[in-house]
Amino acid sequence: MKRQFLKKAIGFALGLSVISLSATVHAEYNPKLLRIGFQKSASLLTLLKADGTLEKRLAPQGIEVKWVEFPAGPQLLEGLNVGAIDFGYVGEAPPIFAQAAGANFVYVGYEEPAPRAEALIVQKDSPIRNVADLKGKKVGLNKGSNVHYLLVKLLEKHGLKYSDIQPVFIPPADARAAFERGSIDAWVIWDPFTAAAQQQVGARILADGTGVVNNYAFFLAERDFATRRPDVIKEVFTVLQQTGQQINQNHKAAATRIAPLQGLEPAVVEQTIRNYSNVVRPISDPVIDAQQKLGDTFYELKLIPKAIRVKDATIAAK
């Protein structure tokens, strides 16, 4: 990706002008600042931000926490690449596309698999009854997101090729409108968008990720920050693990707290957080190996321009 494109993309995501972004992108490393990229749909980080727990934990070290919202994982990766954030949380596919484009980040942790938290859905009265019926149909998805891989593997499982369908690349907010008016035949999407479509318009699930994909979520850091501040990353993980335990101890109570922050109904949020594990762990070799399979698949399908070695995007690799 060209630097200018990245500036414009991340500038849009932050609601900033390219001029004001430039100052952020080229800012010198600040040991007293931690910038976290998040998506409002990510309940774990949304609750962590609202509680202010991380700010309290880092305050004795004189470290300020700044939260930066992004619409989806690909834009967040662009933020990491240009130095607009230090740490972020995304699905399993965005890092593959970003690494193939030369982005400067490392995997530092992951959330345990959540295959039920993403699904392929159709309208309740759709004549499409199974994945095989999608041949020649328009399927909406967010390009480069975790559901991109889910779609590929679901098609493969049901005897179809990626070229057998018409992918329509569209962000979640626009995809919901397209789905309701029938501009796309199916939509492959993650929670809470899946849960909202089910509960609000009666969307029907053709298939979720169960038995098909892991649907890991990853915690990433800008490489230089990860090298300089492993102590800060350790503190972040401690608080993340505590927040995940808090969610799993009482899903209903957690949903009641998170719902107004996300602008969603508590029932939608509760379904969502039940579909995620909310269990956070440091990165491990088996998880990196699983991520390599995803990278190899995308390269074989020519979705990324070159083969990648996922292990290169770890703190031990230079």
Query: What's the whole-number mean pLDDT along residues 247-256?
Result: 97
CATH superfamily to which 3-114+216-263+277-313 belongs: Periplasmic binding protein-like II (3.40.190.10)
In this predicted structure, the answer to whether residue 64 has a pLDDT above a threshold of 50 is yes
pLDDT, one tens digit per residue, over 171-195 is 888 999 999 999 999 999 999 999 9
Query: What's the whole-number mean pLDDT along residues 246-265?
Result: 95
Sheet with 186-190, side-by-side order of all strands: 166-169, 138-141, 186-190, 118-122, 204-208
Instruction: Give residue 191's pLDDT.
Output: 94
User: Which sign, positive or negative, has the C-alpha torsion 273, 274, 279, 280?
Assistant: negative
Closest CA relative to residue 109, chosen from 242, 217, 228, 232: 217
- What pTM does this model have? 0.84
- The residues of the chain that CATH labels 3.40.190.10 are 3-114+216-263+277-313, 115-208
**pLDDT-based confidence at 144, cuts 50/70/90?**
confident
Distance in angstroms (rounded) separating the CA atoms of residues 257 and 250:
11
**pLDDT-based confidence at 73, cuts 50/70/90?**
confident
Q: Residue 70 corresponds to which amino acid?
A: F
Closest CA relative to residue 87, chosen from 240, 194, 196: 240
In this predicted structure, the answer to whether residue 153 has a pLDDT above a threshold of 60 is yes
SS3 114: coil
In this predicted structure, the answer to whether residue 217 has a pLDDT above a threshold of 80 is yes
Pairing of strands 217-222, 87-91: antiparallel
Q: 142-151, 263-272, 274-283, 309-318: which range is least confident on average?
A: 309-318
Closest CA relative to residue 76, chosen from 46, 35, 109: 35
Instruction: Give residue 172's pLDDT.
Output: 87
pLDDT, one tens digit per residue, over 288-302 is 999 999 999 999 989
Distance in angstroms (rounded) separating the CA atoms of residues 310 and 292:
6
Q: Which fold has domain 115-208?
A: D-Maltodextrin-Binding Protein; domain 2 (3.40.190)
Is the CB of residue 145 less than 8 Å from the CB of residue 221?
no
In this predicted structure, the answer to whether residue 68 has a pLDDT above a threshold of 50 is yes
Instruction: Give residue 99's pLDDT.
Output: 95
Q: What is the DSSP letter of 59?
A: G
**pLDDT-based confidence at 143, cuts 50/70/90?**
confident
pLDDT, one tens digit per residue, over 21-35 is 333 444 567 889 999
Angle at 253 between CA 197 and CA 272, to 5 degrees: 25
Distance in angstroms (rounded) separating the CA atoms of residues 164 and 152:
11
SS3 106: strand
pLDDT, one tens digit per residue, over 258-295 is 999 999 999 999 999 999 999 999 999 999 999 999 99
pLDDT, one tens digit per residue, over 78-96 is 999 999 999 999 989 999 9
Q: Residue 53 corresponds to which amino acid?
A: T
In this predicted structure, the answer to whether residue 161 has a pLDDT above a threshold of 60 is yes
